[in-house]
Amino acid sequence: MLVSLIAGLGFAVLAYLCVEIPRAYNQATPIWLSNGFVVACLLAVDTRRWIWILGASLIGGLVAGAHAGDSVLINFVLTPSNILQTWLCAWCTRRFLGPEIDLGRPKHMIAFVGLAGFAVPVVVGTLASLYHTATRGGDVWANATIWVLGDILGVLIVTPCLLVLVKAKTYLAERGLTREGLLVLLGLLVVTAAVFAQNRYPLMFLVPPMMLLVASRLEVLGGVIGAVLVAAIGVLFTMAGRGPIYLIDGTGTEQSIVLQAFLAVSIFVSLPVAAFQRQRRYILDRMTQASEAVARSEARYRLLTENALDVIVHSDLKGRVNYISPSVLAVLGYAPEELTGERPVEFVHPDYVDAVMAISRAQVNGQSDRFPDRIEYLAYRKDGALIWLESRPTLAMDPVSGEKIGLTDVVRDITARKVLEQELREARATAEAAAAAKGEFLANMSHELRTPLTAVIGFANLVDDQPELAADTRRHVARIVDGGRSLLATINDILDFSKLDAGHMEIRPRQVDVGHLAREILDIFTLQASAKGLTLASQGLDDLPPNLWLDPERLRQVLLNLVGNAVKFTETGGVTLSLAHDPTSERLAVSVIDTGQGIAEQDLKLLFMRFSQVDASIRRQHGGTGLGLAISKGLVEAMDGQIGVESRLGEGARFFFDLHAPIRPLDEPEDQTPPPNLPAGCRVLVVDDNAANRELVRTVLEAFNAQVSEAVDGEEGVIAAE
């Protein structure tokens, strides 16, 4: 709204002054300022606010015309024509240039001068002058010329001046008012005043060069200020009866036309020159910045290439080196100038020449996707030594034309890495051999231990079966059996751990009724739990499918470990075994929950580690190798599962795991016919190199009335069989 009021008031005041001041000197109006003022207001705001500015300007113009004494008819025709002209000037400029207008850009300045400063004033001004001549009389040509030139000068002087002043900060930041610029502006003022202060010599030709000089030095801001100064000085001196205009032998109208034409031509030339000068400076600045950026980039590139440990090579499309970094001296022993013009492939070991050439040709032919982006090869140093190099050739393109100009390669000495890789391979082979030897040793030791231990347990069971044993003797035999079984369990744990550690644990899945298996596990620990006053509970067993596909022996082993530990370490409360199967994900989820003393958070990470127990007193109280949970973890992971634990001290513990267990169609039931008894008089040959084992087997078989023969080895067994 404020802009509308300013536009209306400014239009009225300027229109009144442009009529009354020349009238006081009995002269025609040389410059019609009001239209240029309104055009500047329109271009400075959004298009949606134009209606208010145009309306306020129309009212202001009607008031000014009435005050100047124009008839109502003339006032209501000429004032709207002025408003129409301002709207067309602004609309054409905005339509062609968009919402952001910068007269410092040549395109914008030329478009503004051509459209708003010439085309629109010529068309609308001519029509208005014809109407004015028809109503008031006069020479049509003279009236039209003065009218049109006055409108042109008003738009070319006032509008750029106001638009540039709005962005004065921007223009001053780009090109400040230097001492030289102020002197040139002062020179224009002096020359123009000197030219128009006298009417003896036709010196107007001195003014345009000075205007061009100001425009070239101060650009747009200087060009606009120069145009205003020249127009103001020329009009004021001419109206005062001074200036070279009066040297023209003609009427006052002709003299006025000459002054207007002089000002119009001068401004037509100086304003575009100012815009072009600004554009020229901008281009030169950009070129300077680009040159400096290129220089900095080249300096950085040279700094990097000359100090890089890797060798940077640039070669042409024929493979000849035209640049190689100084680091080549440290890598290959050659000075850069020794290799310039040479083909690097000449230093490659013959076994790798074809591969190096192939990857280079692929880059040049645009087939890089068919080859790896880097290659390792052997090359010769200057001293004849062989070293390993890693190369990464890349096609180089001309940044302007986009044509292929060569290959850029980064070459790295990887000899030390290759040595480390070889040492690593050897160390790995040694470690694998040691692991295999350890596994074989443990397996052999376990076998050697289990063989006599089996005899101990077997004979102890035979003794225990004798009915005439005394109570103390039977108790001692039971101790032997229990100790033997504990030792056998320990040996089995060590053997299983050895298999897991070596990756030799075999998983043999088959169809399993997991619910039945879980009940068997609970039955095993029923007596032990009852002795401690614990309850054994289960959840979800009845909902399990009877035909899950997994390894029952390994599942049994994990459940025995987890449930056994829960019963062992729980003093009050109970243990719950929970199972659930998800047919969508084909996963079996198992949880063993106890109400024991719980586990501290810092000890949870120790549970599944080898030979670890969270409390040494627990080992002394309950025994164990510390391998049970580690073995369980290995078995679960071998069956494509995960195992974990949740516990807080004093709140019990929950061990859980899940396994891949798809449902398989039920198999035909197996034949449940019991195996037949040994026939009477059956003869059995027992071959074993261990006498205790032979005696144990003999004792068992003779209990079934079999006739037993023995042999120490295979050869003796064959002879005995014959």
Q: What is the tens place of the pLDDT at every residue in 347-385?
A: 889 998 888 888 888 888 877 677 777 889 999 999 989
State how far the Cα of 7 lies from the Cα of 121, in Å rounded to an integer.
19
Kindly report the average pLDDT of the chain as a whole number.
Answer: 83
- Range list of β-strands (E), 628-717: 642-647, 653-660, 683-687, 707-711
Residue 305: per-residue pLDDT: 67
Position 620 pLDDT exceeds 50: no
Q: How confident is the model at residue 641 (pLDDT cuts 50, 70, 90)?
A: very high
State how far the Cα of 293 lies from the Cα of 297, in Å rounded to an integer.
6
Number of H-type helices and E-type strands within the chain: 23, 15
Residue 623: per-residue pLDDT: 45
688-702 average pLDDT score: 80
pLDDT digits 0-9 by tens, 144-166: 888 888 888 888 888 888 888 88
- Range list of β-strands (E), 308-403: 311-315, 321-324, 375-380, 386-391, 394-397
Q: How confident is the model at residue 447 (pLDDT cuts 50, 70, 90)?
A: low
581-587 average pLDDT score: 94
19-47 average pLDDT score: 82
* DSSP of 198-237: -SSS--GGGHHHHHHHHHHHHHHHHHHHHHHHHHHHHHHH
Which among 64-68, 70-74, 174-178, 427-431 has the top mean pLDDT? Answer: 427-431
State which fold the 420-486 domain adopts: Helix Hairpins (1.10.287)
Weakest-pLDDT range from 97-101, 121-125, 184-188, 529-533: 97-101
DSSP one-letter code for 20:
H
Position 586 pLDDT exceeds 90: yes
CATH superfamily, domain at 308-413: PAS domain (3.30.450.20)
283-303 average pLDDT score: 82
Position 686 pLDDT exceeds 80: yes
Q: How confident is the model at residue 507 (pLDDT cuts 50, 70, 90)?
A: confident
State how far the Cα of 274 lies from the Cα of 212, in Å rounded to an integer.
8
Q: How confident is the model at residue 7 (pLDDT cuts 50, 70, 90)?
A: confident
Q: How confident is the model at residue 613 (pLDDT cuts 50, 70, 90)?
A: low
Weakest-pLDDT range from 420-424, 435-439, 613-617: 613-617
Q: Name the H helices within 570-713.
A: 616-622, 628-638, 691-702
- Top-confidence residue, 581 or 214: 581
600-610 average pLDDT score: 80
Q: Name the H helices within 26-119.
A: 33-43, 50-68, 72-97, 106-114
Q: Name the H helices within 365-470.
A: 415-464
State how far the Cα of 420 lies from the Cα of 384, in Å rounded to an integer.
22
Which among 179-188, 261-270, 458-467, 679-688 has the top mean pLDDT? Answer: 179-188
Tokens 């493979």: give the residue: 319
State how far the Cα of 203 lies from the Cα of 457, in Å rounded to an integer.
136
* Residues facing 711 on adjacent strands: 687
Position 669 pLDDT exceeds 60: no
457-478 average pLDDT score: 78
pLDDT digits 0-9 by tens, 233-261: 988 888 888 888 888 877 777 777 787 78
Which among 211-225, 271-285, 377-391, 597-611 has the top mean pLDDT? Answer: 377-391
> For residue 28, what are its two tokens?
């025609």
- Top-confidence residue, 328 or 18: 328
Q: How confident is the model at residue 541 (pLDDT cuts 50, 70, 90)?
A: very high
User: Residue 412's CB: how many other CB atoms inside 10 A?
Assistant: 19
Position 696 pLDDT exceeds 80: no
Position 393 pLDDT exceeds 90: no
Q: Give the long-range contacts of residues 711-715, CB within 8 A, separation 24 or more.
A: 711/685, 711/686, 711/687, 712/687, 712/688, 713/687, 713/689, 714/687
**Residues 619, 613 contacting (CB under 8 angstroms):** yes
> For residue 443, what are its two tokens?
């397996």
617-633 average pLDDT score: 63
Residue % of the chain over a pLDDT of 70:
91
Position 493 pLDDT exceeds 80: no
Residue 619: per-residue pLDDT: 44
**Residues 333, 383 contacting (CB under 8 angstroms):** yes
Annotated domain spans of the chain: 1-166, 169-305, 308-413, 420-486, 506-660, 683-721
99-121 average pLDDT score: 86
CATH 3.30.565.10 for domain 506-660: yes
Which among 41-45, 153-157, 442-446, 472-476 has the top mean pLDDT? Answer: 41-45
